[in-house]
Chains A and B, each alone.
Chain A
Amino acid sequence: MNTPKEGITRVDGRLKVTGSIRYAAEYPFPGLVYGAVVSSTIAKGTITGIDSKATESAPGVVAVISHLNAPKIPGYEGGEHEIKTFNDSKIYFNGQPIALVIADTFERAKFAASLVKVQYSKEQHQTNIDAGLQNTFKPWGDGSDYLRGEANAYQNAPVKIEAEYRTPIHVHNAMEPFAMTAKWDGDKVTVYTKSQYIKGMQREIMGMFKLPEEHVTVNSKVIGGAFGSGSPLWPYAKAALIGAKMIGKPLKVVIDRGQMFTMVGYRSPAIQKLGMGATADGKLTGITHIATGETATYQQFAEGITSTTNILYDCPNVNTQYRLTRLDMSVPTYTRGPGETTVVFALESAVDELANALNMNPLEFRKKNYSEKDPEQSLPWSSKYLKECYEIGATHFGWDKRNQKPGLVMKDGWLVGYGVSNGVYGAGRAPCTAKARLSADGILLIQSSTSDMGPGTATVMVKIASDIINIPVENIKFELGNSSLPAAPGEYGSMTTSSVGSAVYEVCTALNEKFNQLDGKSGAGDPDYARILKEHNLPFVEVTHKSGGTPNADKYSSHAYCVHFVEVNVHPTLGTVKVTRVVAALDGGKILNPITARSQVIGGAVWGISMALMEGGVLDHRYGKYVNNNLADYHFASNADVPQIEVLFVDKPDPVTNAMGSKGIGEVTIVGFAAAVANAVFNATGKRVRDLPITPDKLV
């Protein structure tokens, strides 16, 4: 190891703090034209006419594209269910892209787009999940239900609780608006966009236009946040591809903030009913969990918001049920901690309610019901240091000072409460290819087509490589963000460090072996790179290597854990809530680069604060339309809402998941946080809020 213990600062940090790194909308091609997307203003029906006369004659307008004049897209044939942009006149949701206005400047495109007049034949729509509760379906067939032991056993328990929890729509709202710059050269296309899954997006474009791989290049060098929204080829991006092809010029399409609410996915709202029972001394006897989420009429998205209930606690009787209802909404998608974030809010609130019903310290209750093995699959954990998280977190936080009886602690005119919750997230990994080349100039270049939406992918890869290749860390370069690089999986599911990291680890090890072989030795010990290259008169040595998926997936169950301890202040008469202290204790296996890992944990906690106290997409169901589709009305945390966040790592390697011993941490750091806040609010006030977000109106 030739790096500091706390890790290395971001390898692309200098580019970011100087503003010189280029995001998707920042590639200035000569002749570039601008596209503005026109959205539908009804939630369901058919377009009967588009009057674009005024638009077409507005200054600078190059083209107006809609289903009326778009070419036939070869990939639209067949059974895909997603929105086929400009294919037909059908409206599936309010805010659907229905036309693209292209002009020579941004201002002109935007204004001209506002002149487009659309006539519709409206149909009755439904956007309210409550109305859809009577009309649900099983998203995964029989796999949507789970039973071990006896169903509804909680009902016979000596101590039990029953409650309904509600979580609203969460919109990712990455700071960078989605953008695609598309440039066709004959039947070859190059795009600059935000993509969490570069090879996947390349395949989607190949499929859309029936193009061979070498004709489609996807660039996504840096991503201004995505949080799960950045994987699919969204309808607006299809519009950009079609538009650029039709006009034969490089075209840039950036959607606006309002369009970020309807065009690039969101977290499904959920209604969850939980029943939970225990013996008088606090041993869980039964959990019943029934959850309903929503999806679109035209496409199914399911995230599985009951799965965590099956595994988090040792409980003999568990039955869960997951349902979806179809609404006239755009399709939801992965959102930070997809599934787990929603389920664990309900589950960990319910655990707190039951512990309080038992008059038991909720941390003791959790320890008492600790699952020593995966109760769903009957597999041992690859590693589980949740107890250690409890210990170090409780000590640092001062959990022993918590008052079991709520509503008693007052400080400076504010009620004070403590809350805790568990977070858990699967620690999987996917196959990945990386190429490593060490050149005579002493530079090691490693390449893989992964992305970086913010966690610092290149930074941790350089760190991993630096632990194997003994050269100065500043001589190690990691290149990502282009589909022509060796294939990497998507940057989601907390898998990147594990997947791409394994490829980097293994390719670097293989590189060392290759150098040693040249030198007549075996093994991967430190070779003298410069001498070997010189002696063999080689400009470089290069290895490409593909690493595998989760090892021994049938023998172990692998998860990362996070325990959040939260202190809140609640104003007794105004109902305002401040999160005043946070301790996050994390089992993420071996922490490979503490500086950036810590930031991810902080980021998860900040998302948790937002989810607990402010976030929620609101629709006026009469119009099927958002009423808070902007950043002044859709709140998430400002700087003033966030205290210092203490991050503690157990930092013990997982022996199974990968050679580095790491478990992904991006997702787990938000999971459960909102419950810790709700539990702390209960501890402060005696009021249980089961309907997020916990805004002043719910406590006043």
Chain B
Amino acid sequence: MENNNNLPEPDTRPDVKDPSRRDFLKKSALITAVALTPAHAVKAAEKHMDERIAEAFEKMPLSLEINGAPHNLMVEPRSTLLDILREQLDLTGTKKGCDLGQCGACTVHVDGHRVISCLTLGIMVNGKKVTTIEGLAKGDQLHPMQEAFLKHDGFQCGYCTPGQIMSAVACIREGHANSEHEIREYMSGNICRCGAYPNIVNAIQEVKEGGLPV
């Protein structure tokens, strides 16, 4: 899935009209497409132009570090970080629950902070470090929060669990795990339909009190 191409970084100069696309397309030797905008690209497809033109035109290079490994990808600007993780990189540990920022199942860390990956455009985290549930354990050794979720049975169906765990780790790192009440409030962005909340709170309290680095 990875694409180690030699395309230029997207030009960030705001005053130049679509330079990245222009360069990109030139290098792709699709000179005829120079004047195209995405709306035109759709029209091009409508006119049954070679679909590869439209496809190449719509994608942008994205470099980011995921769980410590560098990735160079081509993505559509509209692709969310969540869909890139799940569909392009097969990192399916990050879950899609609502796709609208209303459940927290897609929580990942970007540069160490928990965010909602379904509302994060992939292209906007270019150059950043992303940590997903797959990046928490060190080899066979589970992260203390994963151990605590296991021990306290902090889940049933398991679908919201990766988001819960990513959020729980952040909750401690942020300093928002100082009481049961505070944990509940700061874990409320992660909805669990099975209702494992009390066990989740207990798991977080144990990790916090255990003082192990998270």
Is there direct touching of A and B in the complex, by C-beta distance under 8 Å? yes
Which A residues are closer than 8 A to B by beta carbons? Answer: 9-10, 12-23, 25-26, 28, 54, 57-60, 105-107, 111, 172-177, 222-225, 227, 254, 256-257, 453-456, 595-596, 598-600, 602-607, 630-632, 636-640, 642-645
- Closest B residue, CB atoms, query A252: B87
Let me know if B93 is at the binding interface, CB within 8 A. yes
Complex formed: what's the CA distance from A34 to B136 in Å? 30
Smallest beta-carbon distance B83→chain A, Å:
6
Smallest beta-carbon distance B1→chain A, Å:
9
Complex formed: what's the CA distance from A598 to B45 in Å? 57
Chain B residue numbers with a CB within 8 Å of A9 are 150-151, 153
Complex formed: what's the CA distance from A599 to B195 in Å? 8
Quick check: A17 and B165 within 8 Å, CB to CB? yes
- Closest A residue, CB atoms, query B153: A599
Quick check: B197 and A606 within 8 Å, CB to CB? yes
Quick check: A637 and B195 within 8 Å, CB to CB? yes
Smallest beta-carbon distance A516→chain B, Å:
36
Quick check: A644 and B198 within 8 Å, CB to CB? yes
The listed residue (A172, A254, A600, A639) touching B156 by CB distance below 8 A is A600
- Closest B residue, CB atoms, query A225: B157
Contacts A17-B149, A456-B156, A631-B103; A59 near B197 (Cβ below 8 A):
no
- Closest A residue, CB atoms, query B160: A175
- Closest B residue, CB atoms, query A104: B55
Quick check: A106 and B102 within 8 Å, CB to CB? no
Quick check: B193 and A174 within 8 Å, CB to CB? yes
Question: Can you sample 13 A-B contacts with CB below 8 Å?
Answer: A16-B161, A18-B136, A19-B134, A22-B92, A59-B41, A59-B58, A257-B97, A257-B102, A603-B195, A606-B195, A639-B190, A639-B200, A642-B195
Let me know if B51 is at the binding interface, CB within 8 A. yes
Complex formed: what's the CA distance from A454 to B158 in Å? 7
Contacts A18-B93, A175-B193; A631 near B157 (Cβ below 8 A):
no
Complex formed: what's the CA distance from A631 to B118 in Å? 14
The listed residue (B95, B187, B188, B195) touching A602 by CB distance below 8 A is B195
Smallest beta-carbon distance A51→chain B, Å:
14
Complex formed: what's the CA distance from A598 to B194 in Å? 12
Quick check: B100 and A257 within 8 Å, CB to CB? yes
Q: Is the interface of A mostly helix, strand, loop or mixed?
A: loop
- 14 additional A-B residue pairs with CB within 8 Å, beyond A13-B155, A175-B191: A17-B146, A18-B137, A19-B133, A59-B55, A175-B95, A176-B97, A222-B157, A225-B156, A257-B98, A454-B157, A456-B156, A602-B197, A631-B97, A642-B197
- Closest B residue, CB atoms, query A12: B158
Quick check: B185 and A16 within 8 Å, CB to CB? no
Quick check: A58 and B150 within 8 Å, CB to CB? no
Smallest beta-carbon distance B26→chain A, Å:
21
Let me know if B116 is at the binding interface, CB within 8 A. no
Let me know if B94 is at the binding interface, CB within 8 A. yes
Chain A residue numbers with a CB within 8 Å of B195 are 602-607, 637, 642
Complex formed: what's the CA distance from A17 to B184 in Å? 20
Complex formed: what's the CA distance from A224 to B46 in Å? 39
Quick check: A57 and B45 within 8 Å, CB to CB? yes
Smallest beta-carbon distance B76→chain A, Å:
6
Contact with A along B124-145 (1 / 0, CB 8 A): 0000000011101100001000
Complex formed: what's the CA distance from A636 to B160 in Å? 14
Let me know if B173 is at the binding interface, CB within 8 A. no
- Closest A residue, CB atoms, query B92: A26
Chain B residue numbers with a CB within 8 Å of A636 are 191, 193
Quick check: B142 and A14 within 8 Å, CB to CB? yes
Chain A residue numbers with a CB within 8 Å of B46 are 54, 57-58
Contacts A19-B162, A642-B184; A107 near B157 (Cβ below 8 A):
no
Contact with A along B80-102 (1 / 0, CB 8 A): 00010011001011111111101
Quick check: B198 and A642 within 8 Å, CB to CB? yes
Quick check: A639 and B188 within 8 Å, CB to CB? yes
